[in-house]
Amino acid sequence: MLEPTALQTDTQTLIDAINNMWILVVTFLIFFMHAGFAMLEAGQVRSKNVSNQLTKNLLTWSIGVTVFFLIGAGVDSLVGGAGFSPAFAAESAADWIGWLYGAVFAMTAATIVSGAVAGRAKLRAYVTYTILLAAVIYPVVSGMAWYATGLLGADGAVGSAVGMAFTDFAGGTVVHAMGGIAGLTAAWVLGPRIGRFNDDGSANVIPGHSMTFAVLGTLMLAFGWYGFNVGTSAIFNTENAFLADQLGRVAMTTTIAMACGAMGAGLVAWAKTGKVDTLYVANGLLAGLVGITAIPHTTTWWGAFLVGGLAGAQLPVVFSFVEKRLNIDDVCAVFPVHGSAGVLGTLMYSFVATEAWNGFTPDVGFMIEGFIAQFAGVAIIAAWTVLTTGLIWGAFKALGQARVSREHEQEGLDGSEHGIETYPEFGDEGTAVADGGTVRTDGGVVPADRRSD
Amino acid sequence: MLEPTALQTDTQTLIDAINNMWILVVTFLIFFMHAGFAMLEAGQVRSKNVSNQLTKNLLTWSIGVTVFFLIGAGVDSLVGGAGFSPAFAAESAADWIGWLYGAVFAMTAATIVSGAVAGRAKLRAYVTYTILLAAVIYPVVSGMAWYATGLLGADGAVGSAVGMAFTDFAGGTVVHAMGGIAGLTAAWVLGPRIGRFNDDGSANVIPGHSMTFAVLGTLMLAFGWYGFNVGTSAIFNTENAFLADQLGRVAMTTTIAMACGAMGAGLVAWAKTGKVDTLYVANGLLAGLVGITAIPHTTTWWGAFLVGGLAGAQLPVVFSFVEKRLNIDDVCAVFPVHGSAGVLGTLMYSFVATEAWNGFTPDVGFMIEGFIAQFAGVAIIAAWTVLTTGLIWGAFKALGQARVSREHEQEGLDGSEHGIETYPEFGDEGTAVADGGTVRTDGGVVPADRRSD
Amino acid sequence: MLEPTALQTDTQTLIDAINNMWILVVTFLIFFMHAGFAMLEAGQVRSKNVSNQLTKNLLTWSIGVTVFFLIGAGVDSLVGGAGFSPAFAAESAADWIGWLYGAVFAMTAATIVSGAVAGRAKLRAYVTYTILLAAVIYPVVSGMAWYATGLLGADGAVGSAVGMAFTDFAGGTVVHAMGGIAGLTAAWVLGPRIGRFNDDGSANVIPGHSMTFAVLGTLMLAFGWYGFNVGTSAIFNTENAFLADQLGRVAMTTTIAMACGAMGAGLVAWAKTGKVDTLYVANGLLAGLVGITAIPHTTTWWGAFLVGGLAGAQLPVVFSFVEKRLNIDDVCAVFPVHGSAGVLGTLMYSFVATEAWNGFTPDVGFMIEGFIAQFAGVAIIAAWTVLTTGLIWGAFKALGQARVSREHEQEGLDGSEHGIETYPEFGDEGTAVADGGTVRTDGGVVPADRRSD
C-alpha cells in the first residue's frame, strides 16, 4: 500500500505502474501481429493451402510460446550471461509481465518462417523446427544481442573487440532479419513448389488467393508494429527520466519509414511494369517498418525517409533476385520483406544516427566503427541462423520428412494434412480433396465421420 | 486541480487516473471481441446465412448495450444487493467508465448465443431473447456472483452457507458458461437445421463457408481476451497497492492456457482422425482461454497447463457428445467452447489454486470446500440460464415464432430476412434468393427497388 | 530524472507521462481505422475493383502522412494563427507524439473520399487529390476550427462576431463531414459508374462483393473510434485536473450513439422494405458514431439517443436522395454516413448540451447563439471543401485525367491500374483482365513477366 508520507516510494511505485501498464498494452498489440501474419500469409497462398497456413500460425504461437516459457527464455538469459533462468522459475509473478513481453517478440521471429515454406512443408517438420527455434535458435540470437554481457553487447567478446555494442532497438535483425533469413534458408533446402520454376530456370507466378486478406494482414501488422517499435521504449527509464523525446522520435520514424517503404516499393514496381502493384505496396510498407526497426530511436525524419524508402525500393529487386537468380521459392517474400530490409536498416545505423540522439558527433570515425559493429552482429546472427536452419531442414530432407508427397502438394495441404476445405462453397479446388474421403467437393452436407469417435 | 502541497490527494488522483486509463483501454479491447465473434461465427456458417449472422452480431451489441444501459445495469446492482441503480441515473459521469466496462462483459455473454442458433432462428425471436438476456438473465447472474452481498458472494445466502464465496475472476462461468449454456438450450429448443441429422440419428457435417474468417475471428478474440482477463485486474487495488504480481500472473496463465487449449484440442483431434483439424485447434485455443477465465489469478503455470490442456482436450469429446448423443445442432460449438470449458475451469478452482496466491494451504479441506462453493455457483447459474432460456425459446416455439419457414431456411436467411446476398459474385447460393425479387442471382446490376421510397 | 524532493516536478512529470501514454495508445487505435476503412470499402466494391480500393487506402496513408509531415501540419498551425510550424521543424522530438496524433485525424478525413470515387477514378488523379487534401484542404479546416485564434475559434473573426467558438470535439465536421462532403463533390464531378443510372434517371444497385469484409471494417472502425472520441479527451487537462467526468461522458455517449445509429438506420430500412438491411445497420452504426463525434462531451444519455438515432435514421433517406434525386454515385455512401451525419450532430450541439457539461443554462438564447456558431462553421467548412474539391476534380476532368477509360472501367481497375486479380481462383471477373496479358484468368500458374526486370 502506498504510504502518503513515503514520497520516494510513491513516486517509484507510480512510475513502475505506468511502465508496466505500457508494457502490457504494447504486448497485447504485438500479440495481435499474429493475426496480421495469419491474414497476410493466408492471402498469399492458394486456396487449397489456406487452412494449412492458418494452422501453422495457430500452432506457432501455441507451441512456440509454451516452449519459450519452459526453455527459450532460460536459454536467452543463459546466452546473455545472466544464467539459465527459465520463465517457470520466475522469482516473482510480476516477472511474467516481462516474460510475455519477450515472448511476443520471439514468436514474431518464429511465425515469419511459415510464410517462406508455404504450400509444401510437412506440418510435423514445420512444428519440429518451430520448437527448436523457440527453444534455442532465437534465444541464442536475442541473448547475444540484447544483454550487455552477451556476445555482441558492450561487455561481450565482439562488442569489446569492436569497441561498440551491436545496436538493434526493437529487433530489425534479431527478430525480423533472423526470421527472414531462416525462412529463405528453409525454402532453399525444401525446394520450390511444383510448377514454380521451369526447367530452364525461368519462373512462374503462383498468385495468392486473396489480396484482401493480404492487405488486411498488412494493416493489422502495421497497427501492432506501433507496439513493437514505440513499445520497445519504456515510458520512464531506469533512472526515472520520462522518455518523451524517445517515444516521440520512435513514433515519428516508424510512421515515416512505413510510408516511404510503401512508396519506395510502389515506385520501383511502377517503373518496372508501368503499374502500381498492390502487393508490392503492401509488402513495401512492411519492409519500411522492418527497415527502421533496428534504429528508430537514433535517427530523425530524413533518416527515416532514407531507410524506409530504400527498404521499400529494394523489395522488388531482391524479390526478383531470389526468384530469378537463386530460384528459391520464398512464397510470401519473407526474405525481401523481413530479411534484407532488416539487414539494410541495421547496417545503416551509423550513417543516419543524429547528434540529437546521444550527443555524439556523427563523423567518419563513428560511421566506420558503427558499421563494423553492425556488420559483425548481422554476420554472426545470419551465420548462426543459416547454419542451424539449414542443418535442421537438411536433416528433415535426408529423412524424407521435409515435404509432403507430390500428390498431396497438388491436391493441397488443406486436404492432405487437415482433412478440410477452407472454402467448401467456392472455387474449384474442391475436387483435389476428394481422396480425403470425408469432405464432399460440392460443399454440401456430408457424413460426420470426420469427427466421429 | 492537483495541489502540489496536498500529497495525499496527488497520489490518490494519479492512482485513480492510472486505473481509469487502464479500464478504458481494456474496455476497448473487450469491445473488439465483437468483431472477433462476428468473424468467428460468419466463418462457421453457410454463405447463404452470413449476413444474417453479421446482422445478429451488430444488433446484439446495439440493442443489447442500450437495454443494459436502461435496465440491465440496474438489475445487476439490485440482485447484487446494492439497490436498483440503472446506468442512466449514474451519480457522476465518471461512473459511466465503470458502466461501459461492465457492459462489454455483458455483451460478450449475449453474443455467444447467436453462434448456437445460426441458420434457422428468426431474427425477431433472437432480438427479443437478446433484450431479455441483457435486461434480466445476465444481470441476475452477474449480480448474484460478483457482489459480496449477492447470492453467491461472501455475505450472500449460499456463500455464507458454504463458508466461501463463489470465485469467478473474469467470467469463466458468469459470462462464458452462461452464454454457452444459453446457446445450447436455445439450440435444443429450436431444433437442428434441415439436413443436420438423419432419421437414424446419425449426423451430417454442414461445413462453414470460410475457415479464414473463422481463424481471423479466433485471433481477434484472443487479442481482446487479454483485455478481458488481464484487464479484470486493476493496476492498483482499493488500498492503493500496485498489483504487479496479479497482473503478471494473469497475463501468464492466460497465455499458457490458450496455448495448451489449442494443443489439447489439436492432439485429441489428431488421435481420433490422424489429421490436425484447423477448426478444432482454433476453437481449442478459445476453450483454453475460457477455461482459465474464472481462475487466472489463483493458479500458476502448471495449473494453466492443466486447465488449458483439459479445456482444449474436452472440446472434440463434448462436441461429439452434443452432436451424436444429444443430437443438438450447436452450429458454432458454443457449448464445448464456452459452456463446458468455462464450467471445467471454474470447478478446478480449489485443485489448482496455489499458496502463492493468498497464503492459504491448499489442503484437502480447502479443495472440498472450494469445490462445493464452485459447484453450487455453477449449478445455480446453469439452472437459471437453462430455465429462463428454455422458457423464452419454448414460448417463441409455441407461438410459431422461433424458426423461419422451411423454404426460407433452405434458400438462406440472408435472402429471406435481409433481402441481400453476402457474396453476389461468388458461389452458387444465389439462386436461392431469387424470390426476394430485388437481388439478381448473377450478381449483376439490378434495379434499386430495395432501397426505394 | 525525477527528484524525490521536488514534488511539483514529480507530479507534473507523472501527469505528462500519463497523458502522453494515453495519446500514444489512442493514436494507435485511430491508425487502425485505416484497416477498418480498407475493409469497409473493399467489401462495398465489385471484386474487379477491390485491389484498386486497397491500394488507394495504402497510398492515402503512406503519401498523405508524408505530405502532412512535410507541409500539412505547418499549414494547420499557420491557419490557426500560430505560424507555419511544419512537423519536420519540431523543436523537440517529444512534439512528434502530438504531430502523429494530429496526423491520424487528418488521414481519416483523407481516406473517406476514396469510398465515394470507387470504381472509376484514375489512381493518379486520386493520389494527386490526396496530396492536396493532406497539404492544404484539411489543414485549412482543422486550423480554422481547432485553434482559439483560428477563423472559427473564440478569438477568430467568425467566433468573435458570433460571440461563441465553433464546437467540434473530435472532428464530426472537421474530419468526417469534411471527408464526406469532399467525397460527394468528387463523385458528382466524376460522374457515376457505367450502368449505375438508366437514361430515365432511375438507379441500379451495384452490390459490393463481400458483406463480411464490410461488416468487419465497420466493427474495426468502431473499435478505433473509441480512440478517436474518448482519446480526444486528455486524462488530465492543462490545469492538471483529472478529467474522469469527461472521459466517462464521452465513452458513454459514443457507445449509445453508435447503438442508436445502428437501430435507427435498421428501423427505417425495415419500415421501407420490410427487411433489416445488414449494410444499413452497419453504416447506421457508423453514422451514429459520426453524429456524436462533434459533441460527445457536451450532452448526456438522452442527447446521445437523439443524435445517434437521428444520424442513423437519416442514412437511408439521404442515401436515397443522393441516389434518386441527385443521381450521384457515392459508392460507399460516404456522404450519408460521414457528411450529413456529421453536420447533423454538429448542428444539434446547442439543443442537446446539458447544464452538467459546463454549468450554463441551456435556454433559448443559448440554443440560437449556439446554432448560429455551429451553422457558420459548417457552412464555411462545407463551402471551402466543395469549392476546392470541385475545382481540383474539375481540372482533372477538363484534362481528361479524372476517369479511367470505359474499357478499363468495365474490365475493372484491378487489371488496368494494377495488373492483378484480387481473387484469381474465384468468381468470373477474371476474363476482364485478359488484355493485361500477365494474369491468367484461370488463376493458374503464369509466367513471371509481371515482376520481371
What is the spatial distance between Cα A422 and Cα B44, in angstroms, rounded to a whole number?
11
pLDDT category of residue B428 using cuts at 50, 70 and 90: low
Q: Judge contact between B448 and C323, C-beta under 8 A.
A: yes
Interchain pair A93, B245: CB under 8 A: yes
Cell reading at B390: 428454455
Cell reading at C145: 476550427
**Among chain A residues, CA nearest to C6:** A7
> Does A266 touch chain C if contact means CB atoms closer than 8 Å?
yes
**What is the Cβ-side half-sphere exposure of residue B12, based on CA atoms within 13 angstroms?**
10
Average pLDDT over residues B338-366: 92
Interchain pair C277, B418: CB under 8 A: yes
Q: Which of B98, B95, B76, B84 is nearest to B150 (CA)?
A: B76
- For B409-412, the CB contacts below 8 A with 24+ separation are B409/B119, B409/B120, B409/B193, B409/B194, B410/B194, B411/B48, B411/B435, B412/B46, B412/B47, B412/B48, B412/B49, B412/B52
Residues 59-88 of A with CB under 8 A from C: none
pLDDT tens digit sequence for C161-215: 999 999 999 999 999 999 999 999 999 999 999 999 999 989 999 999 999 999 9
**List of chain A residues whose C-beta atoms are within 8 Å of the C-beta of residue C423:** 209-212
pLDDT category of residue A428 using cuts at 50, 70 and 90: low
What is the spatial distance between Cα A324 and Cα A317, in angstroms, rounded to a whole number?
10
Interchain pair C427, B426: CB under 8 A: yes
> Does C425 touch chain A if contact means CB atoms closer than 8 Å?
yes
Q: Judge contact between A379 and A152, C-beta under 8 A.
A: no
Which pLDDT score, from 0 to 100, does residue B360 have? Answer: 79
**Among chain B residues, CA nearest to A104:** B255
Q: How near does any CA of chain B get to the CA of A444, in Å?
A: 7
Q: Judge contact between A194 and A406, C-beta under 8 A.
A: yes
Interchain pair C255, B100: CB under 8 A: yes
In the predicted structure, residue A448 carries a pLDDT above the cut 80:
no
In the predicted structure, residue C306 carries a pLDDT above the cut 90:
yes
What is the spatial distance between Cα B154 and Cα B148, in angstroms, rounded to a whole number?
5
Q: Judge contact between B417 and B209, C-beta under 8 A.
A: no
**Among chain C residues, CA nearest to A48:** C425
Interchain pair B204, A447: CB under 8 A: yes
Residues 197-216 of C with CB under 8 A from A: 210, 213
Q: How near does any CA of chain C get to the CA of A209, in Å?
A: 5
Q: What contacts A309, CB < 8 A, 6 or more positions away?
A: A260, A261, A263, A264, A288
Q: How near does any CA of chain A get to the CA of B164, in Å?
A: 25
What is the spatial distance between Cα B308 and Cα B225, in angstroms, rounded to a whole number?
14
> Does B25 touch chain C if contact means CB atoms closer than 8 Å?
yes
Average pLDDT over residues C442-446: 41
Average pLDDT over residues C306-328: 97
**List of chain A residues whose C-beta atoms are within 8 Å of the C-beta of residue C22:** none
**List of chain C residues whose C-beta atoms are within 8 Å of the C-beta of residue B66:** 256, 259-260, 263
Cell reading at A398: 535426408
Centre a 10 Å sphere on the Cβ of residue A443 and count the other Cβ atoms it contains: 22
User: Which of A245, A275, A324 is the closest to C94 by Cβ?
Assistant: A245
Q: Judge contact between C82 and C28, C-beta under 8 A.
A: no
Which pLDDT score, from 0 to 100, does residue A9 have? Answer: 57
Q: Which of A235, A409, A232 is nearest to A329 (CA)?
A: A409
Q: Judge contact between C180 and C115, C-beta under 8 A.
A: no
| DSSP secondary structure letters along A12-30 | HHHHHHHHHHHHHHHHHHH
> Does A120 touch chain B if contact means CB atoms closer than 8 Å?
no
Interchain pair A18, C17: CB under 8 A: yes
In the predicted structure, residue C16 carries a pLDDT above the cut 90:
yes
Tell me A154's DSSP state. Answer: T
Which pLDDT score, from 0 to 100, does residue B357 have? Answer: 85
Which pLDDT score, from 0 to 100, does residue C361 have? Answer: 82
% of chain B exceeding 70 in pLDDT? 92
- For C127-131, the CB contacts below 8 A with 24+ separation are C127/C59, C127/C63, C128/C392, C128/C396, C129/C186, C129/C389, C129/C392, C129/C393, C129/C396, C130/C59, C130/C60, C130/C63, C130/C64, C130/C67, C131/C63, C131/C64, C131/C67
User: Which of A18, A241, A273 is the closest to C18 by Cβ?
Assistant: A18
Cell reading at B320: 461429439
Which pLDDT score, from 0 to 100, does residue A359 have? Answer: 81
In the predicted structure, residue A213 carries a pLDDT above the cut 70:
yes
Cα B305 to chain centroid, rounded: 22
% of chain C exceeding 90 in pLDDT? 89
> Does A326 touch chain C if contact means CB atoms closer than 8 Å?
no
Residues 32-61 of C with CB under 8 A from B: 46-47
Tell me B117's DSSP state. Answer: S
Helix (H) or strand (E) holding C205: strand C204-205
Tell me C380's DSSP state. Answer: H
Which pLDDT score, from 0 to 100, does residue C6 have? Answer: 46
User: Which of C7, C222, C275 is the closest to B4 by Cβ?
Assistant: C7
**Among chain B residues, CA nearest to A47:** B212
Q: How near does any CA of chain C get to the CA of A113, in Å?
A: 23
Q: How near does any CA of chain C get to the CA of A133, in Å?
A: 30
Interchain pair A35, B236: CB under 8 A: no
**List of chain A residues whose C-beta atoms are within 8 Å of the C-beta of residue B11:** 2, 4, 10, 14
Q: Which of helix, strand or coil describes residue A421?
A: coil
Which pLDDT score, from 0 to 100, does residue C4 have? Answer: 45
Cα-Cα-Cα-Cα dihedral of C408, C413, C414, C417, to 10°?
Answer: 80
**Among chain A residues, CA nearest to B429:** A425
> Does A320 touch chain C if contact means CB atoms closer than 8 Å?
yes
**List of chain C residues whose C-beta atoms are within 8 Å of the C-beta of residue B60:** none
pLDDT tens digit sequence for A167-196: 999 999 999 999 999 999 999 999 999 999
> Of the CATH numbers 3.40.50.12280, 1.10.1740.10, 1.10.3430.10, 3.30.800.10, which one belongs to the domain with range A13-407?
1.10.3430.10
pLDDT tens digit sequence for C332-365: 999 999 999 999 999 999 999 998 888 888 899 9
- The residues spanned by each domain of chain B are 13-407
In the predicted structure, residue C443 carries a pLDDT above the cut 90:
no
Average pLDDT across chain B, whole number: 92
Interface partners of chain A (CB pairs < 8 Å, 3 or more) are: B, C
pLDDT category of residue A10 using cuts at 50, 70 and 90: confident
Average pLDDT over residues B391-401: 98
Q: Phi and psi of A198, rounded to 5°? A: -90, 170
pLDDT category of residue C445 using cuts at 50, 70 and 90: very low
Centre a 10 Å sphere on the Cβ of residue A431 and count the other Cβ atoms it contains: 10
| ipTM metric | 0.94
Centre a 10 Å sphere on the Cβ of residue A274 and count the other Cβ atoms it contains: 8
% of chain A exceeding 90 in pLDDT? 89
> Does A239 touch chain C if contact means CB atoms closer than 8 Å?
yes
Interchain pair A17, B242: CB under 8 A: yes
pLDDT tens digit sequence for A332-358: 999 999 999 999 999 999 999 998 888
Q: Judge contact between B30 and B10, C-beta under 8 A.
A: no
Interface partners of chain B (CB pairs < 8 Å, 3 or more) are: A, C
